[in-house]
Amino acid sequence: MTIQYTKRTAMLNFQQASIQQLIDQRGWHSLPQKQAVREVYYFVRDEIKFGYNRHDRIEASEVLKDGYGQCNTKSTLFMALLRALNVPCRLHGFTIYNELQRGAIPSYLMPLAPKRILHSWVEVLLDDDWIDVEGFIIDQAFLMQVQRAHPDRKGFSGYGVAVPCLQNPANEFDNGSTYIQAEGIADDFGRFDSPDAFYAQYGSNLRGLKKWAFRYLLRHLMNRNLEQIRQYGIKVSK
């Protein structure tokens, strides 16, 4: 029943040496399943920083090499690591409204962003129940800067975050669902056995000249903005 949810695919290339070496170094194979999933979750959340890769459809090993990712690419890496540990998982595809990215994407670049952006989270089978795992998108160091800049906010949308309570988001893993962008969902495309199947059907966020500009220029400006926020915080107008 769950064989398709543990298979290797072109994007979920967990056979690659870098992924296998990571698993061996962390000793994840020797852990009970729930503990292994928890440790993989926090690795993807906090050691793979929130950032923009060259494309949504890159392989898991490239996300690991980059050391950063966004919803879609972090989902790919998370799935590959889980499947390497024989933990069943699948992808749930969506779009999100681009406004939740304002701040993470500098204002001067927002006119170039699609109004709705392809989004995904991972569903993981634990104890015969499927849980939603989305909370790994934003690393804690970045999230803390957003929280410091908006200490009195509850419902919040911006900087890659869309939650009902900014100071207490549902992004800590306790064998249940986690969320960090779910309040910004626009369209629900349903479940897919793999990211490969999702992107084969829905393509990517950008095409043509915008796709070229994103890969070679815009994402670097966006990643620089994220790193400045991570290191120096957010200036809030009074």
* 10 exposure class (CB count in 10 Å sphere: 0-12, 13-18, 19+): exposed
Mean pLDDT of the chain: 95
Q: Does 200 map to a domain?
A: yes
- Residue 171: give its domain's CATH number: 3.10.620.30
Within 88-218, where are the H helices? 140-149, 195-202, 208-213
Range of the domain at 224: 3-232
CA angle 144, 148, 150 (to 5 degrees): 115
Domain count, the chain: 1
pLDDT higher than threshold 70 for residue 238: no
211 or 149, which is more confident: 149
pLDDT, one tens digit per residue, over 25-59 is: 999 999 999 999 999 999 999 999 999 999 999 99
Report the candidate in 135, 120, 237 with the shortest Cα–Cα distance to residue 176: 135
pLDDT, one tens digit per residue, over 57-103 is: 999 999 999 999 999 999 999 999 999 999 999 999 999 999 999 99
Q: Does 237 map to a domain?
A: no
Q: Taking the model in full, what pTM does it have?
A: 0.96
pLDDT, one tens digit per residue, over 128-184 is: 999 999 999 999 999 999 999 999 988 999 999 999 999 999 999 999 999 999 999
Looking at residue 213, its pLDDT comes to: 84
